Structure 1
Amino acid sequence: MLDTSLHIALVGNPNSGKSSLFNGLTGLNQKVGNFPGVTVDKKTGKATLEPGVTANIIDLPGTYSLYPRRADEWVSYKVLMHVDEHVKPDMVVLVADASNLKRNLLFCSQMIDLKIPVVVALTMVDLAAKKGIKIDLEELERELGVPVVSINPRKNKGLPQLKKILLQTARQQHKASSRDFIGIKSLAENAVHAVQKIFPALPDYAAVHYLINHENFPLTQEIQDKIEGIEVANHFNPTRLQAEEIMQRYGRIRQIMQQSVVEDDPLERKLFTEKLDNILLHRTWGYVILISVLFLLFQSIFWLAEYPMNAIEWIFASVSGWLNGAITSGWWSDLIINGIIAGLSGILVFVPQIMILFGLVTILEDTGYMARISFLSDKLMRKVGLNGKSVMPMISGFACAVPAIMSTRNIENRKERLLTILVTPLMSCSARLPVYTILISLVIPNRYFLGFLSWQGLVMMGLYLLGVVMALIVSYVFKWIIKLQEKSFFILELPTYHAPRWKNVGVTMIEKARIFVRDAGKVIMVISLLLWFLSSYGPSKGMNNLQAKYEKLQQQPNADKIALQKEYRSEKLQNSYAGVLGRAIEPAIAPLGYDWKIGIALVTSIAAREVFVGTMATLYSVGEDNEDTSLRQKMHSAVRPNGTKVYTLATGISLMVFYVLAMQCMSTLAVVKRETKTWKWPIVQLLYMTFLAYVVAWVAYIIAS
């Protein structure tokens, strides 16, 4: 009976199709965490190989060879060297790109010499065929001495054959290759032999790596000293050995390629990808196309989301109006209508835009265009102290700053990584989208420039670009302040273009909407209910005097009870706990054009930016008597005591600019502390972003007035 606790590690070069295979094997039965002791993503999942046999699949970070440089490569390295205490794979699936076989076989040959049971999963065979490359799988399998299977995880092809071979390997029908890929021991025979006296079961190639990297392995000090002594006694030179090893491996790989690979066209035909890159990566047109793609992205958020958002607003307005007439008036009915219903509407009305944004971003990633954005941006990034690798975290920041900051781990240069962490929160994340949407709809007319360019879409794009521009300026300033000097190199492999996987796009949209409703929704609902209480109740003396005042006014002859009731609700809100708090901070925010209600929203949204909308929904529901009116309509008709509109063009622009630049996300500060291992940089981030937001928002208000 086969042990059902089978552990299989997926390894391979970046962009080899490893993630697609992981998704194909595990489906949605997967989770993401961190490898113990390091902040590197750990993706694990379960795959059913046959009824009753389940394997744990570990997707290790991509790497080009067994000579690690980055933190994520060190994670893969330690697992493959069996020195990671928490992850012990029984076998390895090495994912190799058939269209770049020579480069992929280098890592494969190293796996073979570690004497780990290896199965080679060959991806992109169809792309290789378009290049005129034909691979004899049987001959390649004989030459390597390990099983080779052709797969296409994007189309779910070859996965049953792969599972069958994995089962056979687990049952030891396929074992680790008995022959060495190259004679590694001859490069340092005496030193390798001495290490194997300490570890008798250690293969020759593993012994070489113990000589090179033993300081990074969990060994006792006594053993560390012994290995160090072996290096000294044998004049071990790791740099020279690595160079000789790589030369021998590529010499052997060339022989294998001659035996098992046929290239019909030695000049290689220009593929569709290369022809398209000539346009999309053009030094002029590439940037024009990039700006156009981003503009269409933000225009689409308005075009596509308008009708579902209007429908959701209409549903909640109708429900509130019906409940107001159907249930008896009291504190509990007020809680349901102005607390719960208003809070829910502030969450769900923006779900269509969240789904559309993430769907479009997923399409850009799936097609391979996101990597081109990094390539186009590298030259500009270097001028401000970053490099092209900073672009992907910053683009990810358009979705959420927390995973974006975590993804900076693949930036080797410490200064560039720190700069990227400091400026990534300036990217307009999805939490800002509800704020932008409602403010744009209030102060920007729904008109078109040149007949087809929406002013609202242009403003939305301008807000996102403002975050990018300010991030570059801030990075340039911090470049001179942070005194860390390291050389950096930008090496990026451009993936081939693919048609988007629509199932993947759909799953991502649903998953992100679920996360928004679950995570942001909990915060919004809790703060909405707290705000309902603070807005409905206040200091007893002031509230009692107010109630007595209006009871007396209503008893007067010819009293307009409807008008008095509206005045009473407005004054009650001003004298509530929330009103007292708002009026206390109003002098500080008045220069920006904000009233006390906006001040309360600024305070509550410190926890999370999207709480702004929930706060407004609660405040305007408690303060108004039109439950069947949408939040946008209530905010549009809001006036100050002197009769002027609250949400003028100047106030709206100032508020949007403030939310572009302000650090109002406790989760982001927490993850920055975890990534930098100090509170210094989160505090610096909070202070500079708050100062920047206030000053630029004040300037914007002055100009727009």
Structure 2
Amino acid sequence: MVGGGITIDRAASAASAAALEAVAANLPRDHKGLTRIALVGNPNSGKSSLFNQLTGLNQKVGNFPGVTVDRKTGVSQLTPQHRAEIIDLPGTYSLYPKSLDEKVITDLLYDKTSEQYPDFVVVTADASNLRRNLLLFTQLADLGLPAVLALNMMDVAEQHGVHIDVAQLQQELGVPVIPMNARKGIGVAALKIVMAQTLNLPTVSFYQPSEELLPMIRQIRYYFNLHNDYLALHYAHQFRHISFLSADDKAYIQELTEQYDFQPTPRQAQETIDRYARINDILLNTVSVTRTERNEPYSNRLDRVLTHKVWGYLIFFGVLFMLFQAVFAWASYPMELIDQGVTWINQLIQTNFHGPLINLLTEGVLAGLGGVLIFIPQIALLFAFIAVLEETGYMARVTFMMDRIMRKFGLNGKSVVPLISGVACAVPAIMSARTIENWKDRIITIFVTPLMSCSARIPVYTVLIALVVPDQKVLGFFNLQGIALMGLYLLGFFAAILSALALKILLRRKERSYFIMEFPVYRWPRWKNVGITIVEKVKTFVFQAGKVIVAISVILWVLASYGPGNALEQAETKARAVAAEQHLTPAETDNRIASEKLENSYAGLFGRTLEPAIRPLGFDWKVGIALITSFAAREVFVGTISTIYSVGQDADMRTVQQKLAAEKDDQGQPFFTPARAFSLLVFYVFAMQCMSTLAVVYRETKGWKWPMLQLLYMTGLAYVASLTIYQLMK
């Protein structure tokens, strides 16, 4: 069989066919009637690509029960008669966990009574580095789990001169081995066929505990009614960290380990040595390498440049620069189309229908909905770039390079991942900080991550930048608006690392920490995976942030359209008297009435109460309302401004930018000057305006101390920075 650069001999195909014929009955099903299959593998073994191939868009992200680690699940149609629930477990190198992500795997696989326990596992292995990947497989096999080995990246193995005798490897391991290229979908169909069948095949034992440990192991095994010795050994190794064991259970195991003088660390080391000795024997019989060392892999040559101490940072800076330029340049046309579409619908409705409900629909619902839809092109572009960087393997290099900088500012190497993730959203970024073992490192990372400009700030940034920064080229190539956007992101980044340095000094952190990661081989991006990422992120923005924005827009419309007692009637009378005195035109009279009524509405009264505190920043009561509503979600700012400035306006002024540009101050001059716009932009760079982030910080730190300190610090920083910018620029 030949395809996509993968060559598999006929013996391998015959062996795979024989394995398929050897299985007949269907797997046991869960309460939903679905086979539950867990994907397990080393980081960068292609597990996520395989998950996307199997599930497509039929996937969702939640948390594992009791912890804040992502749990990706999806449904796959294996055959016309069989559907399966696929669980994508976090990447791990072994069953001896070093982080919370890895502990989730062991908690799941150790508890056969759990509702989430898989019927069997698919182990993804990088065929070009089979020795390292087989360590995890042998551990899973010794746990007695029915398994399939997905021999992924066969094309990369072939490029490196690695030839694998699949038939012999299948015989050595005692399980079906499916050669594949998950990124291109090669071998997925064969894997689905195998997964649709019973895999209760005899497995080969790869490691036997020493005789001196058997008395302790057997007591643990029979006490907990476990199905094999190796699982009982893992209970002895990790009982302190197994969440489903009771205090009495842990006390029992501790007593046994002390009685038998069980030392976990040397035992783990010896087990690893023994396993690799067995793995080496298997590989000698199944793998041959024809490439000589002089043929240095292409990825290594690229890394010499892309991770260079000087050129690496310049290249990364250039990539970011191009990303932010594209977010403005490429998204402008579809954004204009969306804006014009919402404007046309609004005009059509207001021209043909009248009444309070019509005003609610056009000035409340559609104004808020327009503030959501218009940013879809920019959100899609941002995550398309991020997905491509991840797919190609470049993002791993970025993480490595940034680790050099992070350490100088008191951050753990693993802090780089939350900080980079914070560019998308602070909530999952803060949750990912739980993989940092050191408590102080974790607290510092959680504290500074919200200073990274998340995607929720993009609507605020782009509207205000487009309002006051000219859309023109510098040096004939660079767009000024893109430069301004990148400057805001860099401002948040520098604030984060400087805040981390201050916390390092305050907390007197002295412990050293270590950061280890593996570089994946450079590859062309799998465009299907990029597309899935874009669709999922846009759906999240529209259906999660969008619901909040539209709901708040409706509430704001009500607050802006009604007032206490007869305040609005009095405001209209006053406005008409002034208009008659100043001989205003009918259109000017209507605008004057709308302005007076808005100022005397519930929203106006609320904003007036807040105005004295924010007037030194250049803001008025209308902006104050938007600042408060932004605590629900930062992107609500645009919907709020759109709604506030929609009340009473003509139907021919519907785009957000038109509304902001038309706003006047007390002297009749444009309200949103560069000083006010940049003051507002800087405020949004630093302010902690996200209730969801505060909630997740509370959950991660088990109390209100850190979220309250975070709220006070970031709000104070935002106020001082905004005040400084406005006073200097006005």
Short-chain TM bin: over 0.9
**Contact 2:568-2:600 at 8 Å conserved across structures:** yes
Which of 316, 324, 341 lines up with 1:298 in the alignment?
A: 324
1:250 and 2:261 correspond: no
1:75 and 2:100 correspond: no
Determine the structure 1 residue equivalent to 2:480: 455
Determine the structure 2 residue equivalent to 1:182: 207
Q: What is the letter of the counterpart of residue 100 of structure 1?
A: N
1:122 and 2:147 correspond: no
Which of 600, 622, 628 lines up with 2:625 in the alignment?
A: 600
- Give, in angstroms, the shift of residue 490 of structure 1: 0.3
Which of 287, 298, 321 lines up with 1:272 in the alignment?
A: 298
Moved more, 147-156 or 435-444: 147-156
Distance 1:648 1:702 in 2: 13
Determine the structure 1 residue equivalent to 2:385: 360
User: Residue by residue, what CA displacement relative to the aligned partner does 1:445-487 show, whole Å, maximum 9, x if unpaired?
Assistant: 1122111111111000000110100001111111122356543
Determine the structure 1 residue equivalent to 2:141: 112
Distance 1:511 1:44 in 2: 14
**Contact 2:173-2:203 at 8 Å conserved across structures:** no
Determine the structure 2 residue equivalent to 1:192: 217
Distance 1:59 1:41 in 2: 9
**Contact 1:4-1:53 at 8 Å conserved across structures:** no
* CA 185–203 in structure 1, closer or farther in 2 if over 3 Å, else same: farther
* CA 331–133 in structure 1, closer or farther in 2 if over 3 Å, else same: same
Q: How does 1:24-43 map to 2 (within 5 A)?
A: 24-43=53-72
Distance 1:70 1:187 in 2: 30
Determine the structure 2 residue equivalent to 1:21: 50
**Contact 2:143-2:228 at 8 Å conserved across structures:** yes
Q: How does 1:374-453 map to 2 (within 5 A)?
A: 374-453=399-478
Q: What is the letter of the counterpart of residue 318 of structure 2?
A: S
- Give, in angstroms, the shift of residue 285 of structure 1: 0.5
Report % sequence identity: 49
1:614 and 2:639 correspond: yes
- Give, in angstroms, the shift of residue 554 of structure 1: 7.2
Determine the structure 2 residue equivalent to 1:287: 313
- Give, in angstroms, the shift of residue 20 of structure 1: 1.6
Distance 1:225 1:529 in 2: 57
Q: What is the letter of the counterpart of residue 264 of structure 1?
A: T
Distance 2:358 2:368 in 1: 14
Secondary structure of the equivalent of 2:647?
Answer: helix
- Give, in angstroms, the shift of residue 553 of structure 1: 6.4
Q: Aligned residue pairs: how many?
A: 700
User: Residue by residue, what CA displacement relative to the aligned partner does 1:558-587 show, whole Å, maximum 9, x if unpaired?
Assistant: 774333222222222222222222222222
* CA 557–132 in structure 1, closer or farther in 2 if over 3 Å, else same: closer
Q: What is the letter of the counterpart of residue 192 of structure 1?
A: I
Q: How does 1:121-140 map to 2 (within 5 A)?
A: 121-140=150-169
Secondary structure of the equivalent of 2:85?
Answer: strand
Which of 109, 115, 123 lines up with 1:94 in the alignment?
A: 123
User: Residue by residue, what CA displacement relative to the aligned partner does 1:100-146 show, whole Å, maximum 9, x if unpaired?
Assistant: 11111112222222222222111111111111111111122222232
Q: What is the letter of the counterpart of residue 29 of structure 1?
A: N
Q: What is the letter of the counterpart of residue 383 of structure 1?
A: K
**Contact 1:409-1:417 at 8 Å conserved across structures:** yes
**Contact 2:697-2:707 at 8 Å conserved across structures:** yes
Determine the structure 1 residue equivalent to 2:10: none
**Contact 2:56-2:532 at 8 Å conserved across structures:** no
Determine the structure 2 residue equivalent to 1:64: 93
**Contact 2:37-2:121 at 8 Å conserved across structures:** yes
User: Residue by residue, what CA displacement relative to the aligned partner does 1:338-360 show, whole Å, maximum 9, x if unpaired?
Assistant: 22332222222222111111111
What TM-score does the superposition give when structure 1 sets the normalisation length?
0.94
Alignment gaps of 5+ in structure 1: none
1:468 and 2:493 correspond: yes
User: Residue by residue, what CA displacement relative to the aligned partner does 1:428-449 show, whole Å, maximum 9, x if unpaired?
Assistant: 1111111111111111111221
Moved more, 406-415 or 483-492: 483-492
Which of 288, 311, 314 lines up with 2:337 in the alignment?
A: 311
**Contact 2:646-2:654 at 8 Å conserved across structures:** no
Distance 2:344 2:651 in 1: 11
Distance 2:554 2:220 in 1: 66
Moved more, 645-654 or 617-626: 617-626
Distance 1:573 1:226 in 2: 70
Secondary structure of the equivalent of 1:432?
Answer: helix
User: Residue by residue, what CA displacement relative to the aligned partner does 1:58-77 show, whole Å, maximum 9, x if unpaired?
Assistant: 22222111211211211212
Determine the structure 1 residue equivalent to 2:12: none
Moved more, 426-435 or 571-580: 571-580
Alignment gaps of 5+ in structure 2: 1-24
1:566 and 2:574 correspond: no
- Give, in angstroms, the shift of residue 262 of structure 1: 0.6
* CA 533–627 in structure 1, closer or farther in 2 if over 3 Å, else same: farther
Secondary structure of the equivalent of 1:488?
Answer: coil
Determine the structure 2 residue equivalent to 1:208: 233
Moved more, 445-454 or 110-119: 110-119
Q: How does 1:146-161 map to 2 (within 5 A)?
A: 146-161=175-190
**Contact 2:100-2:435 at 8 Å conserved across structures:** yes
**Contact 1:132-1:268 at 8 Å conserved across structures:** no
Secondary structure of the equivalent of 1:478?
Answer: helix
Determine the structure 2 residue equivalent to 1:674: 699
Secondary structure of the equivalent of 1:621?
Answer: coil
Determine the structure 1 residue equivalent to 2:14: none
- Give, in angstroms, the shift of residue 164 of structure 1: 2.9
Determine the structure 2 residue equivalent to 1:8: 37
Distance 1:587 1:683 in 2: 24
**Contact 2:451-2:496 at 8 Å conserved across structures:** yes
What TM-score does the superposition give when structure 2 sets the normalisation length?
0.91
Distance 1:223 1:318 in 2: 68
User: Residue by residue, what CA displacement relative to the aligned partner does 1:648-702 show, whole Å, maximum 9, x if unpaired?
Assistant: 1111111100011101111111111112221111111111010000001111112
Secondary structure of the equivalent of 2:149?
Answer: strand
